[in-house]
Amino acid sequence: MFRLESRGLINREKRLNFSFNGKKLYGYDGDTLASALLANGNHLVGRSFKYHRPRGIFSSGSEEPSALVQVGLGANTEPNIRATTIQLFDDLVANSQNHFGPLEWDFMRVNDFLSPFLSAGFYYKTFMWPKSFWEKIYEPIIRKAAGLGRLSGEPDPSTYDKGFLHCDLLIIGAGPSGLQSALMAARSGAKVIVADEDFLLGGSLNGDHTQINNDTGVNWVKKTIEELMSFKNVRLMPKTTIYGAFDHGIFGALEIKTNLERVKSDKPRQVLWRIYAKQSVLCSGSSERSLLFGNNDRPGIMLSRSVRQYCNRWGIIPGKKISIYTNNDDGWITAKDLKEAGCNVVMVIDERSDIVVPIKNVDYRLGKKVMDTKGSLRISSLRLDDGTTVETDCLAVSGGFNPNVHLTCHERGRPQWQEKNHCFIPGKIPKGMEVVGAASGAFDLNNIFDETSLKMKKILSYLGYKHQGKIKLTAAQKPYNVAPFSKSLAKGKVWVDLQNDVTIKDIKIAVQEGFHSVELLKRYTTLGMATDQGKTSNVLGLSVLSLLKNEPIEKVGTTIYRPPFTPVPIGAFAGRSRGKHFKPVRLTPSHQWAEQRNAVFVETGNWLRAQWFPLEGELTWRESVDREVLQTRESVGICDVTTLGKIDIKGRDAGAFLNFVYANNFGKLAVGKVRYGLMLRDDGIAFDDGTTARFAEDHFVMTTTTTNAVTVFRHLEFCRQCLKPTWDVHLLSTTDHWAQFAIAGPNSRALLSEIIDSKSDISNASFPFMACGKVSIFNGIEARLFRISFSGELAYELALPRRYASSFMEHIFETGKKFNLIPYGTEALGVMRIEKGHAAGNELNGQTTANNLGLGKMVSKLNDCIGNTMSEREKIDGEGILKLVGFAPTNKMQTLVAGSHFIPKGKPAKLQNDEGWMSSVAFSPMLNKSIGLGFIKAGDQRYGEKVDSVNPLNKEVIEVEITSPHFFDPEGDRLRG
Amino acid sequence: MDKKISPTTPLSGLHSVIGNVTLKEVNPEIFCISIPKKMDKKVTSEFKRILKFDVPIIGQSSLNKNSTIRLIKNSLDQFFILFERNSEVAGVIKSLEKDFYITEQSDAWVGIEIFGKSSHNCLERICPLDLSAESFGVNTAVRTLMEHLNVLIIKTAEDSFLLLSASSSANSFLSAVETSAQNIV
Amino acid sequence: MKYSAAKIFLEGIFGNRGWRKAWREPQPKKNYDVIIIGGGGHGLSTAYYLSNVYNINNVAVLEKGWLGSGNIGRNTTIIRSNYLLPENEPFYEFSLKLWEGLEQDTNYNSMVSQRGVINIFHSDPQRDAFVRRGNAMLLSGADADLLDENALRKLCPYLDFENARFPVKGALMQKRGGTVRHDAVAWGYARGADMKGVDIIQNCNVEGFIIKNGVCSGVRTSKGDIQAKKVASCVAGSSSQVMSTAGIRLPIESHVLQAFVSEGLKPILDNVITFGAGHFYVSQSDKGGLVFGGDLDGYNSYAQRGNLPVVEDVCEGGMAIIPMIGRARLLRMWGGVMDMSMDGSPFIDRTHIDGLYFNGGWCYGGFKATPASGYCYAHLLATDTPHPVARGYKLDRFRTGNLIDEKGVGAQPNLH
Amino acid sequence: MIIPHPYLGPRDACEFVYKGDAELVFRPERVEPVDYDAFHDYLYLRQNPAGIHKELWYHEYGDRSWLVVTRNTQTHEILKVEFASNYISKQKNRKSNV
């Protein structure tokens, strides 16, 4: 075992079983997968991306570049999980990634020996001959080799949720400065959120032996958190990563909900929060960087502070013969703690020669460098520049610390170079954000506490809160001096980016070939583009670049970090909006009624509409639809048309307003009358159409198409508020208040008379075609009646308060029996409108003009209305433009296809002969043949001419005759009857 | 003609308890009042005369003495008035109709009352607004976006809200609220 | 230097010391035949075709940042020619044909990968529109296939056929469509142009034009004035800014488009998928990342970063159509500035100022157009007549009403 | 982004729908002889500055008001928000004064 007897913040009472590559292992409550693996002496956890080098656990946090594993089985399997951040739970199943054959004997490791030929950008220079080989041979091999973990290929079974939080102050990171900030804010009464990605708050203090106010850091953390929990105005959020900083103080946060108890629960496993913060404090601390030397990527080579944390926080013995390689004071702290814990520290190597050795009885070398390491699946020895070889199975490396500035870059602020500590610190910081602690480039706890206190007082008073009482924190002095980057390039195979396998050689070649601007270097070598976004590699890369260009590092520049800070599951971003819940469902008032009659439903926008109503014995949809058409045209049918947008327009200037928004005249529409209206966009293209009824001098009721209901309302509000602000006009959407039914067919009036209360007279004389009015039905229910017809039959639309709709359907079908009344769906509706040549969505597709639709004459030339002016442009108005006409196959047996194009007889089917297209088709049961509407050049002057309707997608050509679009009852006697 | 047709409600009288949250369908009578340009100046006085209670500012609502009538100011020139009791509708509307444009809205909306200790935590899963007492006092009444739906949210008391959304998407809206309640249990 | 497997082998043996600079880094000359403003994809391809096809080599490309910055450096790498309108389809088909020979032309492997572009439809009207489009493509000599539900199931079993809010009914597929390694395109063109003597000048910011009585004779830059017979603007999102210094207002708005990439994954998604009932499209790169995107953020912006609502909207679309990606993790999001035109189609045209030419308005269709845009722009610069397949891309088309509005949404740039 | 509504306070931009250049509120009137260029310029030649931009947002999931937002297109910083109606009357006054 590699676990110390006592030491660490783990609960040794609670033993947790897990498996890695099938091996049954165990750890304790409080472990991460990484610490549990190390406790079992397991360093080797995966293979590198390109050369398939053995790789081990490198760090103890979210910066981990190497220890990526596949967690879980079946549909629950999740790729690229950092072993260093996932909290161990019972029965966790983990497997290593990206190797072919066993982890220890990955066959792809040949790449390592081929590495001279796989240098930076090699793939841009080959795989080009023969041409056909790329997709067939080269690329499939490359794709198979690339990638890390795998998806299950099954739908993600987990659920996710989202939420919105608001606070005065968001504190990002719960390390020393974060907890101090939290405490000050909490006591001041400000509304605070404290978020930390770790499941244990306290940050570095949990892994260090720090003294704060003569108490251990760990105890101070405990006490502080207890106090914070006692405040109502504080929300502590462990396991919550602030993944992004966005405009105006909006932060994205991902909270991991799964824990020991909730691994298998059906509750959301993660919650994606949108946090609105008046102010924020970034206390994200720092990450350690490595040093550059030969074969610096072997398992067992780890970051120094991580080694220390594994020992202190998790009671791990990281190795039997531990060596430490540092260029700064922190490495010695690791040495000290390891020795105290009773670990065997074989040697400390410090690049600096002019220092006082802070600890006793340890073998050390000053002013020396590590040149190379040996070992197959784990480091076995290292060699110094003086030739000394040291047997070691764990090398703790410290190349200094990088402040975690990532979130300060999310609004494209660039970090700036700090010479003192040789690191990049926040440059331009997002508005409302303050950075404290190591994240700001301060590394001494006492300075940090003082600085934090000052900054917090400012923030609190800015927020209008008073800082309460005194918080005086003092810590044991810990000097931090770090040597500058080495002035000479390390020799051999030296890794800069562990995860993307970028070595110094690659950077050399890139510079040599002219890719020496940071951005080009990054793209050419893929440096820093792996799943860790270069947390451990970017700065090292820059140091190499500055050597090669021999420019100071601040001159060679830096790439910025983009959200998210750590990768976020796509499922979490989607939250609940998936499957049937992707978008809300809108139901028509007669939906239930239709369901009971086995209606087939169709999506129209967010609406579900009855498409047709199949009867016993009807085998195809055509049978049902044909019947619905025939029966409606023969007697009477009802269709729910509630989905059409309905807008109440009121006000003294309502008439003038309609005149302005419609292309045709409305001012003179009499009260009690309805008129068809065509609405154009300001660019003269047809936008929407519908009927508008006048119920009073200052009251109109407009209907829009189902799909445009929302956009038309928005457009009308724009016209009202922005173009005619002085007019007295008021708009209100009443779509959902009124249930509206089309009642069509020769018997519609007879049917209506049965349900309408005696006082309303709907005889043809007093209620002719295009009349409208208020009526009362079923003993005093107030309703609106419109005599309009989309079907071309004698028809009405009846609107009644939605609450009565279901009951209404029951009753009217009871009453309608004697007329064998039927319900018809959107298909029959479509067939009848095509028989009548009415334009609909397929014709009003945003590309057609009033002229194309054959409605040019309607467009007002005199007064100013939306769209009429621009509709007079030559290409829109000119000769030979497309016209909407009808088409019928010369061979009755053939079926037309919407989307076919029209080619003159005898001309080849080519673009230059393309004269238009078929927009809508239907089988007309009345004419007993396939008919279509479509647009063709100068169609209105070509009735009787025959053209080819070509559909190369199905390799079919159908000869069609151009006809009037009005196939059925062209004179319209039926609707006036 | 002797037949009578009967009304139904979008959620057929839902009443459910999930953890510390109670959901209840309510069906107030709702009317929209639009203010003619010429009345801009006189709105407040006229309303006070007719309704006998204070007129709210945009985003707020006010109640009559026995809290059966609620007046909400939606926007510069539009109010909603909600009646708990059908009996009170006719009189008020009649006198309002003289000077204002009145449009009935009752059936356009589905009403869900949500109350209980966890109602805040429930709503924070779908409501982007800050509902804390400091910034969202009792009687605040505003529209916002929840799970792709347009919602009018009214704070009727501490830990108690009235949510109004489009009646056609009543089921989707209910499932959004219920899921939130279940997810926090 | 010719690139080849043999060359790589030799270099490998001798320590990769022999690789020479991919392109020179010259100082600007006083005088050029053509100055191209903008060293992005379109600028570099214009330079390439000017020198390699039209034999005009006294050319400078002025780039304010680093070569290939701009949208060629950040995009979702999709190539296709599945357009509807007669002004567009031949142009994009020409572009696709150029893509098909690109590596051999430029001796640079930009990894043109014709894995097929699939546009899913969910309703009958949508199908009708796709049939019209597919037929338009075939009439123009492109390829198109209409897939019914079963065919689509076979090809993409991972789509949500069972539980979808909007049923998957089929798709329009263009097999020749696919993806390309975007940076390599810029580098290949740059190298190809450089070898013909084109000066590619990085970190050279154009501050204005030298215009006398209606004639443009050069540009003022951070590296001094440079004379040229012809000046060609090719700066995408910065078009309005650059052209305004010549007093020209454009029918263009600059908007931010976000794009996203997931962590590396083993191959799972073979084609390019476009969701028809939401805002989402995706492909998997050779490195294994899912590269995906959706709609514009929708407001004018030069900030090169977006906001959360669109991020969530895009991922919602993704989960709705491909529910297996829930456990793939979004690694990086970024935003590029798009030159959104008033009808969603581009401009390749002369301006009313002699010697000043304009190429822009590519909206977010710019990447797939890179070869043809450069070729046609080069043609215009060399011959002063529009290339036959780019005749429609005139600056004055809004006056004549010759709109090229594929989406049919009108003068609302953020909806194109 | 957060848009501070004149009455309703800070609201997430996802409640709004964007239209564009605020100049769109000044639509030319059609009077004989019709000035087609005026309509062309109104509809197609919009302000597109890298910097301060006056633009139209519609509070669709709110009070349904059209707002004129003054925003920096490089930093997204919002400097001013007003009702379109107020903006228009102020501009008209200014124009009539000059």
> Where do the domains of chain D lie?
2-97
| Residue in the block written with tokens 């089309």 | A742
Decide if C299 and D18 are in contact by the 8 Å CB cutoff: yes
Which among D15, D60, D65 has CB closest to B76? D65
Instruction: Report yes or no: B150 at the D interface, CB cutoff 8 Å.
Output: yes
So what's the pLDDT on residue A260?
65
Decide if B101 and A730 are in contact by the 8 Å CB cutoff: yes
Region A617-632: what's the mean pLDDT?
A: 97
Nearest CA in chain A to D44: A683
pLDDT at position B1 over 60? no
Decide if D37 and C240 are in contact by the 8 Å CB cutoff: no
Residues C243 and C250: beta-carbon distance below 8 Å? yes
Instruction: Report yes or no: B5 at the D interface, CB cutoff 8 Å.
Output: no
Q: Are residues C211 and C67 in the same domain?
A: yes
Residues of chain D contacting A250 with CB distance shorter than 8 Å: 1-2, 12
Residues of chain A contacting D17 with CB distance shorter than 8 Å: 714
User: What Rg do the C-alpha atoms of chain A give, in angstroms?
Assistant: 38
| Residue in the block written with tokens 């009846």 | A798
Which among B128, B135, B143 has CB closest to D63? B143
The proportion of chain A whose per-residue pLDDT surpasses 90, expressed as a percent, equals 89
| pLDDT tier at B179, thresholds 50, 70, 90 | very high
φ, ψ of residue A611 to 5 degrees: the values are -90, -45
Range A645-733 classified under CATH 3.30.70.1400: yes
Residues of chain B contacting D60 with CB distance shorter than 8 Å: 150
How far is it, in rounded angstroms, from Cα A14 to Cα A29?
6
- For A944, the token pair is 């009787």
Which among C68, C325, C333 has CB closest to A562? C333
The most distant pair of C-alpha atoms in chain B lies apart, rounded to whole Å, by: 57
Residues of chain C contacting A583 with CB distance shorter than 8 Å: 165-166
So what's the pLDDT on residue A650?
98
Q: Are residues C298 and C408 in the same domain?
A: no
pLDDT at position A111 over 90? no
Residues of chain A contacting D88 with CB distance shorter than 8 Å: 722, 725
**Pairs of residues, one from chain A and one from chain B, whose beta carbons lie less than 8 Å apart:** 140
So what's the pLDDT on residue A736?
98
- Domain architecture of chain B: domains with CATH: 15-27+108-184 (3.30.1360.120), 29-106 (3.30.70.1400)
Q: Are residues C36 and C98 in the same domain?
A: yes
So what's the pLDDT on residue A263?
62
Decide if B128 and D15 are in contact by the 8 Å CB cutoff: yes
Instruction: Report yes or no: B153 at the A interface, CB cutoff 8 Å.
Output: no
Strand partners, A744: A637, A795
Residues A526 and A500: beta-carbon distance below 8 Å? yes
Strand partners, C259: C293, C334
Q: Are residues C67 and C168 in the same domain?
A: no
So what's the pLDDT on residue C27?
96
So what's the pLDDT on residue A862?
87
Decide if A276 and D2 are in contact by the 8 Å CB cutoff: yes
List chain A domain ranges.
11-123, 160-286+405-463, 290-399, 485-556, 586-642+737-832, 645-733, 879-976
Residues of chain B contacting A806 with CB distance shorter than 8 Å: 8
Instruction: Report yes or no: C398 at the D interface, CB cutoff 8 Å.
Output: yes
Region A918-931: what's the mean pLDDT?
A: 97
Total structural domains within chain C: 2
Q: Which residues contact A214 (CB under 8 A, 6 or more apart)?
A: none
Average model confidence (pLDDT) across chain B: 96
Residues of chain B contacting A802 with CB distance shorter than 8 Å: 107-108, 167
So what's the pLDDT on residue A105?
85
Residues C177 and C114: beta-carbon distance below 8 Å? yes
**Best mutation target, C240, C300, C352, to test chain D (most D CBs within 10 A):** C300
| pLDDT tier at C133, thresholds 50, 70, 90 | very high
Decide if A737 and B108 are in contact by the 8 Å CB cutoff: yes
The proportion of chain C whose per-residue pLDDT surpasses 90, expressed as a percent, equals 95
Which among B58, B76, B150 has CB closest to D61? B150
**Among residues C273, C307, C340, which one ends one of the domains?**
C340
CATH fold label, A485-556? Arc Repressor Mutant, subunit A (1.10.10)
Range A879-976 classified under CATH 2.40.30.110: yes
pLDDT at position A470 over 80? no
C229: domain CATH number is: 3.50.50.60
CA distance A261 to chain B (A): 14
Is the model's pTM score more than 0.80? Answer: yes
Tell me the CA distances in angstroms from A477 to A285, A340, A440, D74, one per residue in order.
18, 19, 19, 44
Neighbours of chain B (3+ CB pairs under 8 A): A, D
Which among A116, A125, A523 has CB closest to C183? A523
pLDDT in tens, A416-449: 999 999 999 999 999 999 999 999 999 999 999 9
Decide if A864 and D76 are in contact by the 8 Å CB cutoff: no
Neighbours of chain D (3+ CB pairs under 8 A): A, B, C
Decide if D50 and C241 are in contact by the 8 Å CB cutoff: yes
| pLDDT tier at A899, thresholds 50, 70, 90 | very high
Q: Which domain holds residue C283?
A: 117-176+254-340
How far is it, in rounded angstroms, from Cα A862 to Cα C347?
34
Which among A49, A244, A683 has CB closest to C411? A683
Decide if A870 and D43 are in contact by the 8 Å CB cutoff: yes
DSSP for residue A429: P
Nearest CA in chain D to A874: D36
Q: Are strands A822-823 and A637-640 parallel, antiparallel or unpaired?
A: parallel
**Pairs of residues, one from chain B and one from chain D, whose beta carbons lie less than 8 Å apart:** 37
So what's the pLDDT on residue A86?
96
Decide if C66 and A520 are in contact by the 8 Å CB cutoff: yes
| pLDDT tier at A785, thresholds 50, 70, 90 | very high
pLDDT at position A620 over 90? yes
Decide if D20 and C414 are in contact by the 8 Å CB cutoff: yes
Residues C332 and C259: beta-carbon distance below 8 Å? no
| pLDDT tier at D97, thresholds 50, 70, 90 | low
How far is it, in rounded angstroms, from Cα A257 to Cα A270?
5
| pLDDT tier at B2, thresholds 50, 70, 90 | low
- For A932, the token pair is 């279509």
Average model confidence (pLDDT) across chain C: 96
Which among A162, A268, A586 has CB closest to B168? A586
pLDDT at position C57 over 80? yes
C-facing residues of A in 645-684 (CB < 8 A) are 681-684
Residues A16 and A7: beta-carbon distance below 8 Å? no
Nearest CA in chain D to A867: D39
Residues of chain C contacting A48 with CB distance shorter than 8 Å: none
Helix, strand, or coil here: A675? strand
- For B99, the token pair is 């000077």
Please enumerate residues of D whose Cβ is less than 8 A from a Cβ of B. 7-9, 11-12, 14-15, 60-65, 83, 85
Region A104-133: what's the mean pLDDT?
A: 86
pLDDT in tens, B132-142: 999 999 999 99
User: Is C361 part of a structural domain of the chain?
Assistant: yes
CA distance C396 to chain D (A): 10
pLDDT at position A945 over 60? yes
| pLDDT tier at B55, thresholds 50, 70, 90 | very high
Question: CB A566: neighbour CB atoms within 10 A?
Answer: 22
Q: Are residues C186 and C98 in the same domain?
A: yes
Residues of chain A contacting D84 with CB distance shorter than 8 Å: 721-722, 725
Q: Which of C337, C362, C336, C364 is nearest to C347 (CA)?
A: C362
**Best mutation target, D11, D12, D17, D63, to test chain B (most B CBs within 10 A):** D63
| pLDDT tier at B4, thresholds 50, 70, 90 | confident
Nearest CA in chain A to C65: A517
Decide if D48 and C298 are in contact by the 8 Å CB cutoff: no
Neighbours of chain C (3+ CB pairs under 8 A): A, D
Decide if D63 and B135 are in contact by the 8 Å CB cutoff: no
**Among residues C318, C340, C362, which one ends one of the domains?**
C340
pLDDT at position B3 over 90? no
Instruction: Report yes or no: B144 at the D interface, CB cutoff 8 Å.
Output: yes
Instruction: List the end-to-end C-alpha distance of chain C, in Å, as a whole number.
Output: 43
Decide if D76 and C342 are in contact by the 8 Å CB cutoff: no
Range A586-642+737-832 classified under CATH 3.30.1360.120: yes
Question: CB A765: neighbour CB atoms within 10 A?
Answer: 7
Residues of chain D contacting A683 with CB distance shorter than 8 Å: 43
C265: domain CATH number is: 3.30.9.10
CATH fold label, A160-286+405-463? FAD/NAD(P)-binding domain (3.50.50)
CA distance B52 to chain A (A): 25
Residues B140 and B154: beta-carbon distance below 8 Å? yes
User: Is C17 part of a structural domain of the chain?
Assistant: no
**Among residues C317, C340, C363, which one ends one of the domains?**
C340
- A160-286+405-463 and A586-642+737-832: same fold? no
How far is it, in rounded angstroms, from Cα C91 to Cα C372?
7
CATH of domain D2-97: 3.30.2270.10
So what's the pLDDT on residue A262?
61
